[in-house]
Structure 1
Amino acid sequence: MSTKPRELHKTVWDRSTIWAMLRNPAYRGQAAFGKTMTDERHGAPTRTTRARGERQGRRLTRHDQPAEHWTLIAVPALISEETFELAQARLVENARFSRRNTKQLTLLQGVLVCRECGYSCYRTSTRTTNKRISYYRCIGQDGWRHVGGRVCQSRPVRADELDTLVWGEVRQLLEDPALVRVEIDRRLAALRTEHPAARRRETLERDLTRADAAIARLIEAYQEQLISLEELRARTPTLRKRQTTLRAQLDTLDAELHDAETYLQLADTLEGFLGRLTDGLDQLDIAEQQRTLRLVVREVLIGGDDDKITIRHSIPAPTGPDDPNYLLRGSSHGSASRCPTRRPGSASWSVSLAAPWATRTPPPSSWKPRTRPT
């Protein structure tokens, strides 16, 4: 076996490579076997696939195993046990005091998404002569994160002004629960009768059982020499393909049923939630505002040439009047609210705030996204 290492022709060490080396017990003389396990499960959905209404299919995924499940093999040590333990302690300390740890909460942390590239936005700040100013910046703007450099040309947005604007719209919605209650009652009645996906799922399960049984009978017939190997190879692919198709359809229906169940739970939670918030919105601190917003808001989209803000919430929007300022206007009413569209099978809807100032006092001119101060 050749001992020559594989050449990757890279000019720098990847952070993940350094991180793996620091945690590898083989350097202290104990190579570990069985540190990970592989199983088949649904892949984690990305923002781009979720926006297209797609669902990640089944695939083999690798997961870390607890250290007590490892099999340790003695190998020549390159560093001492003390040095290795010092490195582990430093990793723990770095994780605790890392700059990535949230020291200052922001309202839209975790829900703000760039419409231009689909990446999340994070909080950053810059110091002026008198104070520190916080901004929301798209991950796609950071050239060091991407192999080919920055992938997004959107500009940072003032965090305080955007937080105030979005919280004002969410608060206006929550302070008038009648706008939400009527549509929730109507959809709950439809969901609680009998979801059509449930009946469809029973049919697919029966078909999948038949396909599994047919494959089992073919294998049994071959084992008993009732059919030849050529016949088995000729008939099995068709049944395998049908198996795959049925399982994919079942996965789609499971996602739809899960969204319906989540919606029912949301409605039950929202009933008491709206009542509790009636008199307490003015007393909420930033952490409570963040929890409140995350209960009803799925994503907030910013960016693009029109500087439009879109709130995608988990409260269903009824079919409203053709008023550009209608608070719960659905995505099919007016071109201003057509991006992004509703995800199939989801209880969330796109609520556009494209022209929220048509009949109100114009927003401060300083709100418009600007270049990052240097």
Structure 2
Amino acid sequence: MLRTLTGSEKFTKTELEALVAKIKALIYARVSTDGQVENYSIESQVERCMDLAKQKGINEDEVVVLVEDGESGDNPNRPMINYVLFLLEYGIGDHVIFLHPNRMSRFLHLQTQLSNRIWGLGKDFWFVEFDFDKSSPESMLNFNIQGSIAEYNKAKILADTKRGRITKVKNGQIPGLNRIYGYTYDTELDTLVENPVEKEIYLKMVDMLLHKDYSCSRIAEELSLRNVPAPKKDRWYQVTISRIFKNETYTGNYYFGKTKVIHNADGTKKQVPQPREEWRRISVPVYIDMETYYRIQKRLDELNKNKPGRPTEDYLLQGICRCGRCGAAVSSGVTTKTKNRLLKYYVCQHKTKKSYEVGTGESNPICKGRNWRVDYVDKIVWEYVKNIISEPTEFFERIIKQQSENSNSDELLKQKKKLEKSLQEKEASRERYTEMYAAGIIKSMKDLEDKVSAVDEQIKDIKEELHTIDQSLSTVLNKKNHIELVQKSLRSFKYLIDNDHIDTETKRKVTRLFIKKVILNEDNKINIYLHLGFIDNHEKESDNQHISTNNCQGHGRPKKSIYFDPRRVFGRNGLFFTDQSWSSFSFSNPTGFS
């Protein structure tokens, strides 16, 4: 069976070591967001690439398939293509198999960049639908020509699509949209028309909110009990109700162009909001007036302010804590009263986002399970940070060790020096051609242009490869700079060890210097992800049966896990650390979780 990686899947370090001598080829398959138009399915790409591998004498157990789903070929920072390069550099695979050069990218400069990166690692690639021989000038020419054609076609399609959408908007038409409850999209007229049944439901929802003082959750429950069909599937969500109320379309104003996609310097894309004056208005059927709309927004604000269990600010892991069950954000919002004090809990945000089954009204939180005591979790993580500050030797020994093992900055510098020398030679060659034309050795302007354009193409390729190397060197330098920042900060933070009155905001800033993310799990385990992603973690068990440290390393996702026994929370002797580890703690109180 083919080994296949999709999404963010990665091999563990143990798996990587086992694959080094076994894998001969990597298959890369990609379907972008316009994959339906391109008619390239992942399955057909993999099947045809595997057929080529077998023709080359490579069996299925000697191949790894990497699937890039929903990524555009003009993105230079695609996760799976980056992982392909990582595997090749690690020594896994000698060839990469693509269905067609446009699966590499639809942009010539990215195709060239990837080609040079693969060749620079001493590896090669094959195409199923394109005959390619890098030793043949004619083949290289065809490769560059098809890349230019693909890039032109991509740009033309995008330009035509954008122009067509704008023309539709100018004519009062809507160029396609996600479903808006209460309306039906008329595909012949390209606009929204009234959906009488859903309009009536929407107006009842407004009445419940403004005149019956129902919350969004109560409205979702009420609609479910009344067996009202939900916009999607068979459940009404409180967040769906909230989004419907916030949508201005019901005032008769649909706006096009509220956001636009921009291209970052590194080639990635980002969707950004547009100023309201640049929005294009399209008239649609009116359900409520603007005064009613503003009353709805005011009521939503009141509900939000008065909502019990709103997230508090005085907790350590604000913005960096995630739920181990579902991956959603975790915040401090739920409190309980005891005889002596008020207890606060970390709560998964998906637990508060309830849904209700149509017909029964049965509540079903998206995420089910326990909450986590804020005071316990914060103390564990803060003690972890304090121990790094007070005993940093092992911390930096591991950083330096891993950096020396993984950093290829010396090799990159050698490659850069070699390329810079080659660049100088090519530029000098270009000048010589001009001099030869001036001296009459090159007879015609056309001959000169042919020779110069060939050199210019080589110069362009070298500059692109130099840019890639500079980016890699910058990454290494940033890691070194972060280490220096941490070292400097550690000296400044020594006073924190003995200061029990430091405010939460300062603790938060210090914590974020070291910790990128904390995951709270159902099985009494806390995963701490450090910013310094090149730390070499390892597996280790403590002598104490209630405490163990499980340090795992997956490519790009290093983590340090803290296991603890909820029956042993904050005993008389306080916190203590396991041997040679600052990540395990013992404490005693069975009420640490709810």
Change (3 A) 1:195 1:271: farther
Distance 2:297 2:380 in 1: 44
Q: Are 2:9 and 1:9 aligned?
A: no
Match of 2:503 among 279, 285, 296: 285
Question: Could you say what secondary structure the match of 1:279 adopts?
Answer: helix
Q: Are 2:281 and 1:72 aligned?
A: yes
Decide whether the 8 Å contact of 2:550 with 2:560 is kept in 1: no
* Equivalent in the alignment of 2:531: 314
The 5 A counterparts of 1:47-62 are: none
Deviation per CA, 1:40-97, whole angstroms, max 9, x where unpaired? Answer: 89xxxxxxxxxxxxxxxx8x98654321211224566544443334444555666677
Equivalent residue letter for 1:103: T
Match of 2:553 among 333, 337, 342: 342
Change (3 A) 1:113 1:146: farther
Deviation per CA, 1:185-226, whole angstroms, max 9, x where unpaired? Answer: 4556674834769969x99xxxxxxxxxxxxxxxxxxxxxxx
Question: Could you say what secondary structure the match of 1:133 adopts?
Answer: strand
Q: CA deviation at 1:106?
A: 0.7
* Equivalent in the alignment of 2:377: 162
Decide whether the 8 Å contact of 2:515 with 2:528 is kept in 1: yes
Decide whether the 8 Å contact of 2:514 with 2:532 is kept in 1: yes
User: Any gaps of 5 or more consecutive residues in structure 1?
Assistant: 42-57, 204-251, 320-329
Distance 1:21 1:176 in 2: 53
Change (3 A) 1:354 1:77: closer
Distance 1:65 1:183 in 2: 46
Question: Could you say what secondary structure the match of 1:291 adopts?
Answer: helix
Change (3 A) 1:155 1:258: farther
Distance 2:514 2:408 in 1: 21
* Equivalent in the alignment of 1:366: 589
Q: Are 2:331 and 1:122 aligned?
A: yes
Equivalent residue letter for 1:133: L
User: Any gaps of 5 or more consecutive residues in structure 2?
Assistant: 1-185, 188-192, 199-227, 358-362, 420-467, 543-547, 565-575
Match of 1:273 among 476, 489, 514: 489
Decide whether the 8 Å contact of 1:115 with 1:303 is kept in 2: yes
Decide whether the 8 Å contact of 2:324 with 2:522 is kept in 1: yes
Distance 1:68 1:333 in 2: 60
* Equivalent in the alignment of 1:50: none
Distance 2:261 2:482 in 1: 34
* Equivalent in the alignment of 2:396: 181
Change (3 A) 1:116 1:83: closer
Change (3 A) 1:93 1:261: farther
Deviation per CA, 1:142-197, whole angstroms, max 9, x where unpaired? Answer: 57269894566643232112211221122011112323333444556674834769
Greater RCO (CA < 8 Å, at least 6 residues apart):
1
* Equivalent in the alignment of 2:69: none
Equivalent residue letter for 1:297: I
Match of 2:344 among 115, 130, 134: 134
Q: Which moved more, 1:263-272 or 1:178-187?
A: 178-187
* Equivalent in the alignment of 1:323: none
Change (3 A) 1:143 1:73: closer
Match of 1:37 among 227, 247, 260: 260
Change (3 A) 1:103 1:267: same
Distance 1:195 1:345 in 2: 21
What number of residue pairs does the alignment pair up?
292
Distance 2:386 2:591 in 1: 22
Decide whether the 8 Å contact of 1:136 with 1:158 is kept in 2: yes
Distance 1:357 1:176 in 2: 12
Equivalent residue letter for 1:263: K
Change (3 A) 1:113 1:78: closer
Equivalent residue letter for 2:482: L
Equivalent residue letter for 1:70: W
* Equivalent in the alignment of 2:158: none
Decide whether the 8 Å contact of 1:180 with 1:315 is kept in 2: no
* Equivalent in the alignment of 2:386: 171
Decide whether the 8 Å contact of 2:321 with 2:330 is kept in 1: yes
Question: Could you say what secondary structure the match of 2:589 adopts?
Answer: helix
Question: Could you say what secondary structure the match of 1:288 adopts?
Answer: helix
Deviation per CA, 1:315-345, whole angstroms, max 9, x where unpaired? Answer: 46866xxxxxxxxxx2345595446x33424
Equivalent residue letter for 2:531: S
Change (3 A) 1:28 1:199: farther
Change (3 A) 1:257 1:316: same
Deviation per CA, 1:211-256, whole angstroms, max 9, x where unpaired? Answer: xxxxxxxxxxxxxxxxxxxxxxxxxxxxxxxxxxxxxxxxx99998
Deviation per CA, 1:264-321, whole angstroms, max 9, x where unpaired? Answer: 342132122111101234152111111111110122333344x2333222246866xx
Decide whether the 8 Å contact of 2:409 with 2:476 is kept in 1: no
Q: Which moved more, 1:11-20 or 1:262-271?
A: 11-20
User: Which protein shows a greater Rg?
Assistant: 2
Q: Are 2:518 and 1:300 aligned?
A: yes
Question: Could you say what secondary structure the match of 1:309 adopts?
Answer: strand
The 5 A counterparts of 1:100-111 are: 102-111=311-320
Distance 2:243 2:328 in 1: 26
Distance 2:306 2:272 in 1: 26
Distance 2:513 2:255 in 1: 43
* Equivalent in the alignment of 1:112: 321
Change (3 A) 1:122 1:367: farther
Equivalent residue letter for 1:331: H
Change (3 A) 1:157 1:91: closer
Decide whether the 8 Å contact of 1:112 with 1:301 is kept in 2: yes
Distance 2:306 2:413 in 1: 48
Provide TM-score, normalisation by structure 2: 0.40
Q: CA RMSD in A?
A: 4.8
Distance 2:308 2:262 in 1: 34
Change (3 A) 1:264 1:192: farther
Question: Could you say what secondary structure the match of 2:255 adopts?
Answer: strand
Change (3 A) 1:300 1:12: closer
The 5 A counterparts of 1:231-270 are: 260=476, 262-270=478-486
Distance 2:320 2:369 in 1: 17
Decide whether the 8 Å contact of 2:541 with 2:549 is kept in 1: yes
